[in-house]
Amino acid sequence: MDECNLIELLGQASVSEAGDAFREFLRGGVRQMIADVMSDEVAQLCGVKYRPSEEGECQRAGTAPAGGEMVRASIVAAHGQLFIRTTRRLYCVGKEQ
C-alpha cells in the first residue's frame, strides 16, 4: 500500500477502518525499515551479496563450510528455535523445550 492509496482509503473509510489501514501502513514501513537495517548489517559483516569479503570473519549462511558441512536449506524458525540443515546434520539453536 503506497501513500496515495492510503490517503484515498482513509477518505472513504469509517474511523475504525481508517485506523486499521493506517496501522497496516505503518507496520509495512517498519518491516521494510527493519529488513533494510538487517541487510546493511549483513553486508557490513560479510561483504556485499555475491561478492563476499575475503578478510572478514563472518560469511553468509550457505556460502562457507560449517566445520566441513555446507548449509543446504533456509534457516527455519519454529517454537522459539532456529533449525539449520547441513549436509550431515540438523542443528537447533535456542532454548530446549
Residue 33: is its pLDDT beyond 90? Answer: yes
Question: Which range marks the domain in which residue 82 is found?
Answer: 61-97
Residues 73 and 49 in one domain: no
User: Domain check: are 7 and 54 in the same one?
Assistant: yes
* Total tally of structural domains belonging to the chain: 2
N-term to C-term CA, the chain: 39
Q: Spell out the residues 6+ positions from residue 82 whose beta carbon is closer than 8 angstroms to its own.
A: 75, 76, 92, 93, 94
Are residues 52 and 14 located together in one domain of the fold? yes
Chain segment 35-75, per-residue pLDDT in tens: 899 888 888 877 777 676 667 666 666 555 555 666 667 78
- Please tell me which residue, 95 or 64, carries the higher pLDDT value: 95
The verdict on 8 and 35 lying in the same domain is yes
Per-residue pLDDT of 66-87, as tens digits, reads 556 666 677 888 888 888 888 7
Answer yes or no: do 65 and 49 share one domain. no
Closest CA to 38 of 26, 49, 24, 52: 49
| Grid cell in block for residue 49 | 551479496
Please report, as a single letter, which amino acid is at residue 75.
Answer: I
Q: Which residue has the higher pLDDT, 77 or 12?
A: 77
The whole-number pLDDT of residue 48 equals 76
pTM of structure:
0.46
* Local confidence band at 30 (pLDDT 50, 70, 90 cut-offs): very high
Measured CA distances, 80 to 30, 84, 93, 96 (Å)? 22, 14, 9, 9
